[in-house]
């Protein structure tokens, strides 16, 4: 069964430093998608970045990049030059496809709470 593992329940990082949030996944599918979401204290889930399993280049979106290592089944999120506003919960997620329905479910890891120190 598909599974997402985030081994860091919480992290503290100094402002302006880079930070890496770990994510490993398990799937037998050849075609899948990987996501990172941010959840600030307000509770909304904000999409950050996406990586397709066939994408050869690592995805980047502004200060966010996804370090995709397919053979190791890891999809770490890298935030460069962290800011106070980056303090939030971060979820790694993976899309799986149901064989008989048209819905594509996303499964989530348990999350990492990132705190940025001034």
What minimum distance in Å lies between the beta carbon of 68 and another protein? 14
Counting contacts by CB under 8 A, is residue 43 touching another protein? yes
Counting contacts by CB under 8 A, is residue 64 touching another protein? no
- The answer to whether 116 and 13 have CB atoms below 8 angstroms apart is yes
Counting contacts by CB under 8 A, is residue 30 touching another protein? no
Which CB atom, from 37 or from 68, has the smaller least distance to another protein? 37
Query: 48 is written with which tokens?
Result: 């950050």
Looking at residue 72, the DSSP 8-state letter turns out to be T
Counting contacts by CB under 8 A, is residue 38 touching another protein? no
- The answer to whether 86 and 17 have CB atoms below 8 angstroms apart is no
φ/ψ of residue 84, rounded to 5: -60, -35
Counting contacts by CB under 8 A, is residue 42 touching another protein? yes
Helix (H, G, I), strand (E, B), or coil: what is residue 75? strand
What minimum distance in Å lies between the beta carbon of 52 and another protein? 7
- The answer to whether 60 and 54 have CB atoms below 8 angstroms apart is no
Residues lying near another protein in the complex (CB under 8 A)? 4, 6, 9, 33, 35, 37, 42-45, 47, 50, 52, 91, 93, 95, 97-98, 101-111
């Amino acid at each position: 069964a598909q599974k997402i593992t985030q081994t860091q329940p919480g992290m503290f990082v100094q402002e302006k430093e880079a930070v890496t949030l770990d994510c490993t996944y398990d799937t037998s599918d050849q075609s899948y998608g990987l996501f990172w979401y941010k959840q600030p204290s307000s509770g909304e889930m904000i999409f950050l970045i996406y990586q397709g399993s066939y994408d050869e280049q690592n995805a980047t979106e502004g200060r966010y990049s996804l370090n995709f290592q397919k053979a190791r089944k890891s999809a770490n999120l890298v935030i460069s030059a962290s800011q106070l506003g980056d303090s939030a919960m971060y979820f790694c997620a993976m899309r799986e496809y149901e064989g008989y329905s048209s819905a594509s479910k996303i499964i989530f890891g348990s999350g990492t709470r990132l705190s940025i120190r001034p």
